[in-house]
Structure 1
Amino acid sequence: MTLSRRNFIRLPMLAALVAAAPDGANAVAAAKVRIGVLKFGTVSWELDTLKQHQFDSSNGIELDVASFAGEDATNVALLAGNVDVIVTDWLWVSRMRSQGSDLTLAPYSTAVGAIMVKADSPIDGIAELAGKKIGVAGGPLDKSWLLIQALAKRDHGIDLPTANDIVFGAPPLLSEKAMQGELDAVLNFWHFCARLEANGFRRLVGANDAANALGASGPVSALGYVFHEKWAVEDPSGVAGLVKASAQAKDLLAKSDEEWLRLAPIVRAEGKELEKLRDRYREGIPRRPVAEEEADAAKLYRVLASIGGEKLVGSGTDMAPGTYWTGLGR
Structure 2
Amino acid sequence: MMRHLILALAVSCIFCVAGARASAADAEIVRVGVLKFGTVNWEIDTIVENGFDKKHGFSLEPVVLAGSDAGRIGINAGEVDVIVSDWLFVSRQRAEGIPLTFVPYSTSVGAIMVPDDSIAKTLADLRGSRVGVAGGPLDKNWLMFRALAQDRYGFDLAEETQPAFAAPPFLAEKLRDGELAAASNFWHYNARLETEGYRELVSGQDAAKAFGATGPISAIGYVFNEEWAAEHKDAMLGFVAASHEAKELLGTSDAAWDRLRPSMNAEDDAIFRNLVRRYREGIPSRPMAEEEADTEKIYRRLAAIGGEKLVGSAQTLSPGTFWSVLKEGE
Q: TM-score range by the shorter chain?
A: over 0.9
Change in CA separation of 1:84 and 1:18 when aligned onto 2, cut-off 3 Å: farther
Aligned position for 1:174: 171
- Residue 242 of structure 2 aligns to a residue in which SS? helix
Could you list the per-position Cα deviations for residues 212-259 of structure 1 after superposition, in whole angstroms to 9, with x for gaps in the alignment?
111111111111111111111111111111111111111111111222
Once the two structures are TM-superposed, the CA of residue 118 in structure 1 deviates from its matched residue by 0.7
Aligned position for 2:269: 271
* CA distance in 1: counterparts of 2:324 and 2:269, whole angstroms: 39
Could you list the per-position Cα deviations for residues 113-159 of structure 1 after superposition, in whole angstroms to 9, with x for gaps in the alignment?
00000111111111111111100000010000111111111011121
* CA distance in 2: counterparts of 1:108 and 1:21, whole angstroms: 36
- Of 208, 212, 216 in structure 2, the residue corresponding to residue 215 of structure 1 is 212
Aligned position for 2:187: 190
Q: Is the Cα contact below 8 Å between 1:290 and 1:326 reproduced in 2?
A: no
Aligned position for 2:3: none
Aligned position for 2:146: 149
Could you list the per-position Cα deviations for residues 7-36 of structure 1 after superposition, in whole angstroms to 9, with x for gaps in the alignment?
xx9986663235447969853542210111
Aligned position for 1:307: 305
Change in CA separation of 1:17 and 1:217 when aligned onto 2, cut-off 3 Å: farther
Letter in 2 for 1:39: K
Change in CA separation of 1:313 and 1:12 when aligned onto 2, cut-off 3 Å: same
Letter in 1 for 2:218: S
Letter in 2 for 1:277: L
Aligned position for 1:103: 100
Letter in 2 for 1:294: E
Equivalences, count = 322
Letter in 2 for 1:189: F
Could you list the per-position Cα deviations for residues 176-203 of structure 1 after superposition, in whole angstroms to 9, with x for gaps in the alignment?
0001111000000011111111111111
Aligned position for 1:293: 291
Once the two structures are TM-superposed, the CA of residue 326 in structure 1 deviates from its matched residue by 3.0
Confirm or deny that 1:261 pairs with 2:264: no
Confirm or deny that 1:82 pairs with 2:79: yes
Change in CA separation of 1:57 and 1:153 when aligned onto 2, cut-off 3 Å: same
Give the share of equivalent positions with the same residue, in percent.
52
Letter in 2 for 1:288: R
* CA distance in 1: counterparts of 2:221 and 2:318, whole angstroms: 16
Letter in 2 for 1:193: N
Alignment of 1:1-330 (within 5 A): 15-17=12-14, 19-20=16-17, 26-269=23-266, 270-328=268-326, 329-330=329-330
Could you list the per-position Cα deviations for residues 81-135 of structure 1 after superposition, in whole angstroms to 9, with x for gaps in the alignment?
1111111111000000000111101111111000000111111111111111100
Letter in 2 for 1:307: I
Higher mean C-alpha deviation, range 278-287 or range 14-23: 14-23
TM-score (norm 2): 0.93
Q: Is the Cα contact below 8 Å between 1:23 and 1:58 reproduced in 2?
A: no
CA RMSD of aligned residues (A): 1.9
* CA distance in 1: counterparts of 2:191 and 2:217, whole angstroms: 19
Once the two structures are TM-superposed, the CA of residue 267 in structure 1 deviates from its matched residue by 0.7
* CA distance in 2: counterparts of 1:220 and 1:23, whole angstroms: 40
Letter in 2 for 1:274: F
Could you list the per-position Cα deviations for residues 35-79 of structure 1 after superposition, in whole angstroms to 9, with x for gaps in the alignment?
111111110111111111111111111011110111010111111
Once the two structures are TM-superposed, the CA of residue 290 in structure 1 deviates from its matched residue by 0.8
* CA distance in 1: counterparts of 2:78 and 2:162, whole angstroms: 42
Letter in 2 for 1:156: Y
* CA distance in 1: counterparts of 2:25 and 2:34, whole angstroms: 26
TM-score (norm 1): 0.93
Could you list the per-position Cα deviations for residues 285-316 of structure 1 after superposition, in whole angstroms to 9, with x for gaps in the alignment?
11111111111111111100000000000011
Could you list the per-position Cα deviations for residues 255-290 of structure 1 after superposition, in whole angstroms to 9, with x for gaps in the alignment?
112221221111110300011111111111111111
- Residue 327 of structure 1 aligns to a residue in which SS? helix
Aligned position for 1:3: none
